Amino acid sequence: MAKWNSQTMSITDEFTEKIKTDHQKERLMKWAPLLVLFAMIIVFSAVMGTAFLSLGNLVNILNQMSIPLMVALGLTFVIMIGSIDLSINGTVGMAGSLAGVFLLNTRTELDFGLLGLLLAILCSVIVGFIIGVIHVKLKIPSFMVSFAFMNICIGIGMLSYGGIHPTIQDPFFSEVPRMSFLGVPAIAWVAILVFAICYYIQEFTPFGRHVYAVGTDETIPRAVGVNVNRVKIMVFTLAGFCFGVAGVIGALRLGQGQVGIGTGLMFPAQAAVVIGGTALSGGKGGVVNTLVGVMIMTVLFNGLTMVGVNPNIRTGIEGVIILIAVILTVKRGATVISK
């Protein structure tokens, strides 16, 4: 009897120790991105001196992180439900192309003004909605549906201007990239607004709570009456909104509409989301984590550029960062399936 009690206590102690270790690891992972960000700022400040923390460079960092942040915010919700969206490059490029066509431009006679930008974003929202519906209703993996729509959107974008990039001539919107308020670029204010919207949705709406529940184990919310399919469709629709805003801002910054606006945004966005601490398996993380992840990526590449590191090396570093982040955030022995 004494031997049995001893074995029982041993198992209990081991279980308690495991729970304690897991909690310590979660706390470490929660604060690790912030510690990495502060460490990078300290290192680059030491190497570059006052130039890195100068007002001009801080403004550059805000400008550089604006579009990646908007894209990553939309992707965050998709990853939180355990899915993936590969349509980013195409959706952003399509929205940017349509924005260039709908505003006063050199290619068409259209001049819809602000309505044109809203229409471009609406088209991106519709794409996100369709991706969600096809994924849910036809039970096709999200990465396959979104990859197909990446190419569809690129085609729509190119058809919209017929191969000749429309230069934006609207006197007001042409000046937006050079506008600022309280020293913060107007484009950065748009990114801040999108972040505030996403944060509110995540923290203060039933939909935000359902996103976490679906990502953790969708059978549980389904059992208590949550419409899981609708949550998934809404997630992809929200992502489409974020991608659309990013595309429109990209077109205004470039001064013309073209599908190339979305090129190269997908993997940096994924890296930022994962580096920030949002788990690929779903159910953990959030938009604040993504903000930190985007800041890490932006500060890193800004600092490497100032130091004079070869752009190809920076791309390689990005790949290494993604790999390390995935290794740190995916549970050992867990099967990660894109839903």
- pLDDT tens, 2-38? 554 555 555 555 545 555 555 555 665 677 888 888 8
* pLDDT per residue as tens digits for the range 224-266: 899 999 999 999 999 999 999 999 999 999 999 999 999 989 9
Greater confidence (284 vs 99) lies with 99
How many domains in the chain?
A: 1
Contact 79, 248 (CB under 8 A): no
* 40: in domain: no
Give the separation between CA 203 and CA 259, rounded to whole angstroms: 34
169 within domain boundaries: yes
Q: How far apart are CA 219 and CA 214, in angstroms?
A: 8
pLDDT at 15: 47
Q: What is the mean pLDDT of the chain?
A: 87
What pLDDT sits at residue 331? 53
* Residue 105 predicted with pLDDT over 90: yes
Q: Decide if 246 is inside a domain.
A: yes
User: Which pLDDT score, from 0 to 100, does residue 29 have?
Assistant: 64
pLDDT at position 153 is 97
pLDDT at 304: 86
What is the pLDDT at residue 17? Answer: 57
In-domain check, residue 27: no
With respect to residue 251, please indicate whether it lies within any of the assigned structural domains.
yes
- Tell me if 10 is assigned to some domain: no
Q: Is 12 part of any domain?
A: no
Residue 227: phi, psi to the nearest 5?
-80, 90
> For position 100, what pLDDT does the model report?
95
Phi, psi of 112 (to 5 degrees): -90, -10
Query: Is residue 5 in some structural domain?
Result: no
CATH (domain of 246)? 1.10.3470
Full domain range(s) for residue 75: 47-329
